[in-house]
Structure 1
């Protein structure tokens, strides 16, 4: 995989019509995958080294982003999810690598503005179910 432009890492939300709308105005985005550990260490563990139970932990994905809203449609979709406390299908496009798609819940939406600047926002999402990865 060659070096990619950060602006090509996209966050998209299902538009309700079978397609996806890019969450507009994002200047930075990140996607993190995590798995919790299940420690099964006991008094007879070899050399008292920690032992982990493979495949037993909870998997999750977190998405964060920051930018300026530039699009009424994606703004309304994201804001509606916050007010409803609902999950929606999102798609994260990783250029020349693949797409991660599945349900996410918006866990944070913060608006901020400086006196001499634009209104900006911070967005946080947490996975809310099984995710699928598709190679591009």
Structure 2
């Protein structure tokens, strides 16, 4: 994979639940993180008292974060409503020349900030709420 433009990393929301994804407008920074909790099965007879982990047993999760400015009233309103409803919706992260990650996420944080001589911005955090799929591009 060669160098890619950060603006081409897209976060998309299926606000209606009908499979129609809309790019979140106004995002300046975006990130996707995968996590896996290890299951420690170390015991008194572990070789050299080194930790042992149980393969394939941990809980996997994904998190999405973004920061941006208000640009599109429809997507802004959808995110706000989904947060206040505590709803879980399908989201996509499109990684250029790599693939698309898709699955159910819940908005776990929605923050607003602004400086007296600047624009109002928002921060968004989502946590996976089910199985995540990956499709290579």
TM-score normalized by structure 1?
Answer: 0.97
Deviant stretches of 4+, over 4 Å: none
- Aligned runs of 1:1-136 on 2, under 5 Å? 1-16=1-16, 17-136=18-137
Give the CA deviation at 1:18.
Answer: 3.1
Q: Is the 8 A contact 2:15 2:89 kept in 1?
A: no
Deviation sequence 1:106-134 (CA, Å, 0-9, x none): 00000001001000000000000001101
Question: SS in structure 2 opposite 1:74?
Answer: helix
Give the 3-state SS of the residue equivalent to 2:79 in structure 1: helix
Q: RMSD of aligned C-alpha atoms?
A: 0.8
Instruction: Give the TM-score of the pair, scaled to structure 2.
Output: 0.97
Gaps of 5+ in 1: none
- Structure 2: how far apart are the matches of 1:19 and 1:114? 35
**What is the CA distance between 1:21 and its match in structure 2?**
0.7
Question: Aligned to 2:84, what secondary structure does the other structure show?
Answer: helix
CA drift of 1:69 comes to: 1.7
**Distance in 2 between residues matched to 1:110 and 1:57, nearest whole Å:** 31
Aligned partners of 1:18, 1:81: CA distance in 2, in Å?
16
